[in-house]
Amino acid sequence: MSSRSLPSIALTASLLISSVSAAALGTAPGVDPDSILYYSPSVPGNIAFGALYGFACVGLYFHLFKKRDWWALCLPIGATLQCAGFFVRLVLRSDPGSLVLYIIQDFCIVLSPACYFAFSYILFGRFAYNLQHDVTLPKRKQKITLLNPLLFGRIFILSDVATFLIQASGGGMQVQEKLADMGAKIFLAGIILQGLSYIIFLVLCVYTQSMVTPRDASKHPLHGKIQKLFWVLYFASIWIIVRSVYRTIELAQGFRGYLITNEVYFFLLDSLPLLLCLLTWVVFWPSRIVPLQRSDTGFQSQSYELGLGKYEATGTPDV
């Protein structure tokens, strides 16, 4: 990631925070006694985020179809569901006691981020596979990953599905007053396990990065791009972790806690971080940085996509 790009994203984040704060202050003070939520969803806040997520969806689908990266389909699908969730919240505002609407918006907004986790797992599995098989890339050891690259996606996606189901069951229980507190605890367990799984995943990523950064690797034509993709992945992951920490604290406070009953925190600590995660990938689509079609020769057979020609085992381009 270039030094010029990070300040621009930081500026975007600050502008979004200020605009969202203003929008969130517009929430109605009165709450319908039949409302499942403890507040009336903000019209300007949900419209703003629905529009911003819609913009992110357009960018993600553009990259997806242009590069034909069908393996990445889970990311724009998750973004689309989350975008729809904000508009469902507006409908819920007019019918606050609707259990069906509550479940739909809860599924779209609270559970769809599992797609973002899955995207990271699939992305790194492909990335690690090509790193492992590229004989031209200097490495500290022959085996640069603690897991077989083919297992990254499978193992962590299974973990993602398991934690998704735990969260879904907990979320379903929360709509029943007698089971709300138990549902919140089950949902909390799902969030914690999901976050721990992602942290383990990031540790494995850092290990792999350390295995492909010996001194002579800097001479490799893809060295800079390889490092860039690692750092973009870490940057996007920061926002996922922020959201996970928020959800953990929110649910630890209980179903009537301060965070869960104030929509402004939902906007600032859930919706905004995940939006920044999506925008990171809109700006730095991974296959525009390095080729991610899985190949038994690593990046060699795909180097022409980046204008590097075919390079030999010495790491120098043969053009």
Angle CA 121–89–21, to nearest 5: 80
Model pLDDT for residues 52-76, shown as the tens digit of each residue: 999 999 999 999 999 999 999 999 9
In the chain, pLDDT over 90 holds for what percent of residues? 47
Length of the chain: 319
Domains and CATH numbers, the chain: 9-290 (1.20.1070)
Q: What is the pLDDT of residue 300?
A: 59
Model pLDDT for residues 296-309, shown as the tens digit of each residue: 766 755 554 444 44
Q: What is the pLDDT of residue 47?
A: 97
Q: Are 201 and 156 in contact (CB under 8 A)?
A: yes
Q: What is the pLDDT of residue 91?
A: 96
Query: pLDDT class for 281, splitting at 50, 70, 90?
Result: very high
Q: Are 137 and 131 in contact (CB under 8 A)?
A: yes
Q: Are 101 and 88 in contact (CB under 8 A)?
A: yes
The answer on pLDDT for 243 being more than 90 is: yes
Model pLDDT for residues 163-177, shown as the tens digit of each residue: 888 887 877 776 676
The answer on pLDDT for 17 being more than 80 is: no
Taking the C-alpha atoms of residue 129 and residue 132, their distance in angstroms, rounded to an integer, is: 5
7-16, 178-187, 220-229, 258-267: segment of lowest average pLDDT = 7-16
Q: What is the pLDDT of residue 298?
A: 66
| Burial class of residue 66 (count of CB atoms within 10 Å of its CB; 0-12, 13-18, 19+) | exposed
Greater pLDDT, 20 or 269: 269
Q: Are 9 and 283 in contact (CB under 8 A)?
A: yes
Q: What is the pLDDT of residue 288?
A: 94
In the chain, pLDDT over 70 holds for what percent of residues? 79
Count the alpha carbons within 13 Å of 195 in the hemisphere toward its beta carbon: 18
Model pLDDT for residues 203-223, shown as the tens digit of each residue: 999 999 988 876 666 667 788
